[in-house]
Amino acid sequence: MNVNTAIQNGTIRTLCRQCGIRCGMKVHIRDGVIVDFSALDEQPEKREPICVKGRAAKELFYHEDRLLSPLKKKPDGSFMEISREQAFDEIAEKILHIRQEYGARSMGVWKGEAIGYFQEEDYARRFIHAFGSPNYLSNDSACFNGRYLGFLLVHGFWNSHPEFEHADLIILWGSNLAVSHPAYMREVVKSQKRGAKLIVIDPRLNQTTKRADIIVRPRPGTDGALAWGLCRHLIKANAYDQEFVDKYCIGFEAFSRSAEKFTPEFVQQQTGVKRQTINALAEMVSANLPRISVFPGIGLEHQENGVNDVRTIACLAALCGALDIKGGFTWPEAMGERKLSLCDEVSLRDEKPIGADRFPALYDYRWECHTMTAMDYMLGNGEYPLKGIIMTAANPAINNPNTRKVVQALSSLELLVVNDLFLTETAQLAHYVLPAASFLERSELHFHPKYQMVALSAKVAEVEGVHDEYSLWHDLAHRLGFGKEYFPWENEEQVNRWILEPTGISLEALQKHPEGIVFKPVRYEKYKNQRFPTRSGKVEFISQYLKELNLSEIPEYIPPRYLRHPDNNFPFILHTGARNPLYYHSRYHNIPKFRKAFPVAEMEMNPEDADRLGIENTEQVRVLSEIGAVQVRAKIVNSAQILPGFVEIPHGWQDSNVNLVTYDNINDPISGFPLLKGIPVRIEKIP
Ligand X SMILES: Nc1nc2c(c(=O)[nH]1)N[C@H]1C(S)=C(S)[C@@H](COP(=O)(O)OP(=O)(O)OC[C@H]3O[C@@H](n4cnc5c(=O)[nH]c(N)nc54)[C@H](O)[C@@H]3O)O[C@H]1N2
For binding to Mo ion (CB under 5 A), which residues are involved? 143
Q: Residue 80 class from Cβ within 10 Å (0-12 exposed, 13-18 middle, 19+ buried)?
A: exposed
Shortest separation between residue 170's beta carbon and ligand X, angstroms = 13
Antiparallel, parallel or unpaired: β 445-448 and 453-456: antiparallel
In this chain, which of 12, 23, 198, 313 binds ligand SF4, going by CB under 6 A? 23
Taking the C-alpha atoms of residue 226 and residue 219, their distance in angstroms, rounded to an integer, is: 10
**293 contact, one of Mo ion, ligand X, ligand SF4, none, CB 5-8 Å limit per kind:** none
Q: Which CB, 505 or 661, lies closer to ligand X?
A: 661
Q: Does 335 bind ligand X (CB under 6 A)?
A: no
Q: Does 675 bind ligand X (CB under 6 A)?
A: no
Q: Which stretch in 13-21, 204-212, 610-618, 671-679 sits in contact with ligand SF4 by CB under 6 A?
A: 13-21
How many beta carbons lie within 10 A of that of residue 312, not counting itself?
Answer: 32
Q: Does 22 bind ligand SF4 (CB under 6 A)?
A: yes
Shortest separation between residue 302's beta carbon and ligand SF4, angstroms = 21
State which residue has the least CB distance to ligand X.
577
Q: Are the C-beta atoms of residues 266 and 297 closer than 8 Å to each other?
A: no
> What is the secondary structure of 280-335 as a DSSP string?
HHHHHHHHT-S-EEEEE-HHHHTSTTHHHHHHHHHHHHHHTT-BTSTTSB--PPP-
In Å, the largest CA–CA distance within the chain is: 72
Q: Does 187 bind ligand SF4 (CB under 6 A)?
A: no
Burial code (b: 16+ CB inside 10 Å, e: under 16) for 199-209 equals bbbbbbbbebb
**589 contact, one of ligand X, ligand SF4, Mo ion, none, CB 5-8 Å limit per kind:** none
In this chain, which of 182, 203, 264, 680 binds ligand SF4, going by CB under 6 A? 182
Q: Does 414 bind ligand SF4 (CB under 6 A)?
A: no
Q: Does 303 bind ligand X (CB under 6 A)?
A: yes
Establish whether the linkage from the previous residue to 290 is cis, with ω within 30° of 0.
yes
Antiparallel, parallel or unpaired: β 620-624 and 629-636: antiparallel
> Does an H or E element contain 169, and which?
strand 169-173
**18 contact, one of Mo ion, ligand SF4, ligand X, none, CB 5-8 Å limit per kind:** ligand SF4
Task: Write the interaction track for ligand X spanning residues 393-422; mark x where CB under 6 A is met and - where it is not.
Answer: xxxx--x-------------------xxxx
Q: Are the C-beta atoms of residues 170 and 317 closer than 8 Å to each other?
A: no
**396 contact, one of ligand X, Mo ion, ligand SF4, none, CB 5-8 Å limit per kind:** ligand X
**16 contact, one of ligand SF4, ligand X, Mo ion, none, CB 5-8 Å limit per kind:** ligand SF4
Q: Does 458 bind ligand SF4 (CB under 6 A)?
A: no
> What is the secondary structure of 441-482 as a DSSP string?
G---EEEETTTTEEEE----EEETT-B-HHHHHHHHHHHHT-
Q: Which CB, 203 or 353, lies closer to ligand X?
A: 203
Q: Does 21 bind ligand SF4 (CB under 6 A)?
A: yes
Q: Does 271 bind ligand X (CB under 6 A)?
A: no
| Total residues binding ligand SF4 (CB under 6 A) | 13
Taking the C-alpha atoms of residue 363 and residue 343, their distance in angstroms, rounded to an integer, is: 10
Q: Does 16 bind ligand SF4 (CB under 6 A)?
A: yes
Q: Which CB, 64 or 243, lies closer to ligand X?
A: 64
Q: Which of 657, 612, 656 is nearest to 636 (CA)?
A: 612
N-term to C-term CA, the chain = 47
Q: Which CB, 300 or 539, lies closer to ligand X?
A: 300
Q: Using CB under 6 A, which residues numbered 136 to 155 contact ligand X?
A: 139, 142-144
312-315 LR contacts (CB < 8 Å, sep 24+): 312/224, 312/227, 312/228, 312/231, 312/555, 312/557, 313/150, 313/173, 313/227, 314/150, 314/151, 314/153, 314/154, 314/155, 315/154, 315/231, 315/255, 315/541, 315/555
Q: Using CB under 6 A, which residues numbered 48 to 67 contact ligand X?
A: none
In this chain, which of 5, 14, 18, 206 binds ligand SF4, going by CB under 6 A? 18
Taking the C-alpha atoms of residue 384 and residue 400, their distance in angstroms, rounded to an integer, is: 22
DSSP state of 590: T
Q: SS3 breakdown of the chain: % helix, strand, coil, rounded to 5? A: 35, 20, 45
Q: Which CB, 39 or 549, lies closer to ligand SF4?
A: 39
Q: Which CB, 552 or 580, lies closer to ligand X?
A: 580
Q: Using CB under 6 A, which residues numbered 38 to 77 contact ligand SF4?
A: 48, 50-51, 53-54
* Angle, helices 223-236/252-259, rounded to nearest 10 degrees: 110
In this chain, which of 37, 123, 151, 173 binds ligand X, going by CB under 6 A? 173
Q: Does 183 bind ligand SF4 (CB under 6 A)?
A: yes
Contacts of 480 (CB under 8 A, 6+ apart): 92, 95, 96, 131
Shortest separation between residue 161's beta carbon and ligand X, angstroms = 12
Taking the C-alpha atoms of residue 339 and residue 564, their distance in angstroms, rounded to an integer, is: 45
Q: Which CB, 175 or 606, lies closer to Mo ion?
A: 175
Q: Which CB, 53 or 126, lies closer to ligand SF4?
A: 53
Shortest separation between residue 297's beta carbon and Mo ion, angstroms = 10
Shortest separation between residue 16's beta carbon and Mo ion, angstroms = 17
Q: Does 180 bind ligand X (CB under 6 A)?
A: yes
Q: Are the C-beta atoms of residues 132 and 147 closer than 8 Å to each other?
A: no
Positions that interact with ligand X (CB under 6 A)? 19, 112-115, 139, 142-144, 173-177, 179-180, 201-204, 206, 218, 220-221, 223, 297-300, 302-303, 392-396, 399, 419-422, 424, 436, 438-439, 575-581, 583-587, 651-652, 658-659, 662, 676-677
